[in-house]
Structure formats: C-alpha cells, structure tokens
Amino acid sequence: MPRGRLLGWAALAFLFVAVLLPLLPVIIWSFSFRWPYPNLLPEWSSRAWDYVFSQSTMIDTMVTSIELSAVVTLLTLLIGYSTARALGTREFRGKSAVELFILLPAIIPVISAVMGMQGVFTRLGLSDTFPGVVIAHVVFALPYMVFGLASVFKNYNLEYEQQARTLGADRWNVFAHVTVPGILPGMVVSCLFVFVVSWSQYLSTIIVGGTAVRTLPMVLFALMGSGDYAVASAVAIIFILPVLILLALTSKFLAGSGVSSGVINEP
C-alpha cells in the first residue's frame, strides 16, 4: 500500500521534528562558549561541561537527586505493594472510591497540595528536611506505583501461588520464588516511572525542602533564570541522561515494553 507507506514516513518525520529536533539546540548550547545570534553554530567550548563536572556543588546535587529518587522509589514500592495487590486481585465494596482516592495526587495539581503540605510538615517538624521531601515525593508518586502494580496483578494468576503452597512452600518462599518472578517486569516498569516522577519534582522539593535539599531541577531552573544557557543546557542533559539510560536498560529487559506494558505513565 504505497499511500500507507508514505503516511508512515510522514509520521516518522513528524516525530523526529517534534521530539528529537528540540533537543538539538540544547546539545549545541551545552558545547558552546558563546552562541550569539544569528549564528547557526556557536563558538565551541567545553566550559559548561568542565564547570558542571568540576563543581563539587554540582556533584553533590546530582548525588542528592539520585539518592532522593532512589529512596522515594523504594519507599513507594514498600507502601504501595500490598495496596496494589489488593486492588489487582480482589473485588470489594467501595473499590471505586478507593481507586479515586488513590488517584487524587495525580489529578490535583502539585501547587494545590504542596503549600498545605508545607504547613502540615512544618507542624510535624518535617519541613526543610530530607525526609520531608522524601515523604512529599512519595505522596505524588504513589498513584503511579499503585496503579502500575495493580495492572500487573490483574493479569497475574493467583493459582501459581496456591500451587506452590500445596507443594510445601511457606509464605516467604512463595513470595520470593513465585510472586516476584511473576510480577517482575511490570514491577520494574512501575519503579522506573516512580523514579522519573520523583526525579522531575520541582515545586514540592523547593517548597517542602526549602534550602535543605538541592536537586537537579532546582539547579536547572536557577540557571535558566540566570541566562547562562550553556551551563543550563549541560545540566539539562545530565538531568535526562540517567532517565534515558534506565529506560534503555529496562526496555531490553522487557521486550516490547512501552506499548505493551499496560502501565500508567506520568503525563
């Protein structure tokens, strides 16, 4: 079908322009010393990258971001696991209400909740602390973990576990040898998205964390404000790199993920 082919190539071209082209100026800026208008190419230099990798504050910020998102992911998994399992494998009265409730942090914009959150956290002594930011991120990430895992459990056959128990496996063994391998791909995908949710948080980190926690998005934001696009671009690239690497790793791990993962993604 020649017309179908043409449309396919048109779609591909459109996607390249819409998705990949905007990254071009970012990459170019990151390698520039100056890039005055109207030049198409800048005065090349690696000063932005040198700066980013030499500054200890930058390294600290990167480490903080990674630590933060990792802890948030783990915590969200621990908190959300049993809930997801209940939603995915059981029917009960009030289920829709519970689902709506858990969905709320994903629907209600961060700005609406985060100021009140700051107030509550201050009273609890969590404001301006790392744990406080962790909790804030967990709150916004939970819907994605719960619904992601729940959808995995929907396709999960409980009878495998029942079978294992009849063969003498105790609860821990059932979990380790039957449940985890059964849900692993979907669980990894959910964790990945929660990581991204936490990684991308700006408002909650800055309001709840104040000066105590400095993450990459905050640095990026500040740099854009300062007008130093070169360094900002370098930071932006560093900002998305871990996410892209994680994505590449997990999509090798889950053949055909993305389109077939059936997990809710972050908007």
Partner 1 sequence: MKEAKTWVMLSPTIIVLGVFFIGALIYSVLLSLNAFSITSNSSISLQAYADVLGDKHFVESLLFSLKIAAVSTLISIVLAIIVSMVLRKTFVGKRIAVFVYQFNIPVPHLVVAVSVLLMLSQTGLISRLFYQAGTLSGPSSFPLIVFDQNGIGIIVAFVLKSFPFIGIAVLSLLVTTTGDYEQQAATLGANAWQRFRHVLLPMMTPSITFSSILVFAYAFGSFEVPFLLGSTSPKALALLAYQDYTSVDLNTRPEAMAIANIITLIMAVVVILAYRRLDAVNKRGEAGHA
Contact 204, 133 (CB under 8 A): yes
> Binding string, 229-258, against partner 1, x = CB under 8 A?
x--xx--x--xx--xx-xx----------x
Max CA pair span of the chain: 74
Is residue 133 involved in binding partner 1 (CB under 8 A)? no
Which positions from 94 through 123 interact with partner 1, judged by CB under 8 A? 98, 101-102, 104-117, 119-120
> Binding string, 45-74, against partner 1, x = CB under 8 A?
------------------------------
* Amino acid present at 77: L
The two three-digit tokens of residue 33, written as one number:
């010393």
Minimum CB–partner distance for residue 83 and partner 1 (Å): 4
Nearest alpha-carbon partner for 145 in 183, 101, 107, 193: 193
Nearer to partner 1, 59 or 120 (CB): 120
Nearest alpha-carbon partner for 107 in 83, 133, 143, 136: 143
Minimum CB–partner distance for residue 50 and partner 1 (Å): 20
Which positions from 11 through 40 interact with partner 1, judged by CB under 8 A? 11-12, 14-16, 18-26, 28-29, 37-40
Minimum CB–partner distance for residue 2 and partner 1 (Å): 11
Helix (H) or strand (E) holding 4: helix 2-15
What is each CA distance from 264 to 5, 111, 185, in whole angstroms? 30, 22, 14
Nearer to partner 1, 142 or 213 (CB): 142
C-beta neighbour count of 168 within 10 angstroms: 7
Single residue of 31, 80, 174, 178 touching partner 1 by CB under 8 A: 80
